[in-house]
Amino acid sequence: MRRFMRAVRCHRFAALDKSGTPLPIREVLSLDDVPTPPLRNDGVLVASSYAGIQYPDFLQAQGLYQIKPKLPYIPGMDVVGTVVDKGCDVSEAQLKIGDRVYCNTALCPYGGGGTGALAEVISISSNAVFPVPDQLHMSSVANLGRNYCAAYHSLKVIGNVGPDDLVLVDGASGGVGMATVELAKAMGAKVIAGVSNKDKGTLPGTLADKVLVYGRDRESYKQFKKEAKEACAELGHPQGASVIVDVVHGDLFQDALVSCIKPLGKICLVGFVAGQKPIKPGLLLIKEAMVVGSLWGRWARENPVAFRCNMNEILNFMVEGKIDGRADNIYSLDDYIKAFELFENNAGRGNTVICIEPNKSSCSRAKL
């Protein structure tokens, strides 16, 4: 194993400039030579092939995420690669050298709170490593944690979604939103996908039962509410959606989403890309609706066996073709900044992946 490796590092938080001027994301990230991490007794060393980058990774580099790592840090929570060494406490039954694996640094006690993936080699606890089936291209599972784990936690652990339920999800063209559409359909539910403009409806439109545009102002939210209620009734749920997965929040939550939930339905708060707004209890009381914060990491750490079962279910959905493991945007490690700038420019769609493995030909495929 080489003594040094290449890794992307964040050296300061982009949104926290002392003069009050936000810095471009490219001014706080750099591709550095750093020491290769040591192998631990309970862990493995993984040669990275692909790392997933999503909006939370960009938000974290701005200093606006709920977890602020100690600077400098290596971004990224999701990484896929090959086991190249393993500690003395890791049995052959658990993992073997040469295994293709997905790694989630948020589940690792020394994983930096979900960081460290954008490196040529990672050292990670074996409990945070999951075998990748041979039928799947490794790039297709490079966003399992940020996207599919977040979506599945809302749908299964919180929402208990099953056949004939109705799921409404906003931000449906993004990573978590698209994963929610895919997983809900795989679980037998009907889906209404909400997007901010018509151009963003192409990707979720291939799977969702209805795609509706909610726009960006209060008037368009009002129209979306009307159309969503009509869609609920048309899909056999006149009282509203069984579960709403809210990635957007902002004024959309109060102006439209709450009115679209059925009595005793659940609204899962996953994100707030449109900002955080106060939640008024009056309509929630009338609707008898439950609003639940949806963060899968704590639950996964406290319920490792159940979480591993969920991971296996997601991977099986991919193997069976019930969900389409995709890499919608692939960049080489040298071009890593372009991945972050997608989210800086509000241009992120689906799954964004950085190819780390030396064979550059495998980085050229825009979609798999």
Nearest to 129 by CA among 157, 105, 163: 105
- If one compares 50 and 368, the residue with the highest pLDDT of the two is 50
Q: What are phi and psi of 171, to 5 degrees?
A: 60, 35
Reduced to 3 states, what is the DSSP secondary structure of residue 185? helix
Across 154-179, average pLDDT: 95
Q: What are phi and psi of 344, to 5 degrees?
A: -65, -35
Q: Which one-letter DSSP state was computed for residue 22? A: P
Reduced to 3 states, what is the DSSP secondary structure of residue 35? strand
- If one compares 77 and 205, the residue with the highest pLDDT of the two is 77
Three-point CA angle 67, 143, 166, nearest 5°: 95
Q: What are phi and psi of 64, to 5 degrees?
A: -110, 5
Q: Residue 206 is encoded by which pair of tokens?
A: 């291939």
Of all residues in the chain, the percent with pLDDT exceeding 70 is 96
CB 166 within 8 A of CB 180: no
Across 342-346, average pLDDT: 91
- 217-231 confidence digits (pLDDT tens): 999 999 999 999 999
- If one compares 358 and 349, the residue with the highest pLDDT of the two is 349
- Reply yes or no on whether the pLDDT at 361 is more than 50: no
Q: Which one-letter DSSP state was computed for residue 267? A: E
Nearest to 83 by CA among 124, 36, 31: 124
Q: In the structure, what pLDDT confidence band is assigned to residue 273 with cuts at 50, 70 and 90?
A: confident
pLDDT for position 18: 67
Across 153-182, average pLDDT: 95
- 25-47 confidence digits (pLDDT tens): 999 999 999 999 999 999 999 99
CB 367 within 8 A of CB 350: no
Identify the residue whose tokens are 């659940």: 266
Sign for the pseudo-dihedral over CA of 217, 223, 226, 228: negative
Identify the residue whose tokens are 């299964």: 156
pLDDT for position 348: 82
**Which amino acid is present at 91?**
S
Reduced to 3 states, what is the DSSP secondary structure of residue 9? strand
- 94-103 confidence digits (pLDDT tens): 999 999 999 9
pLDDT for position 17: 63
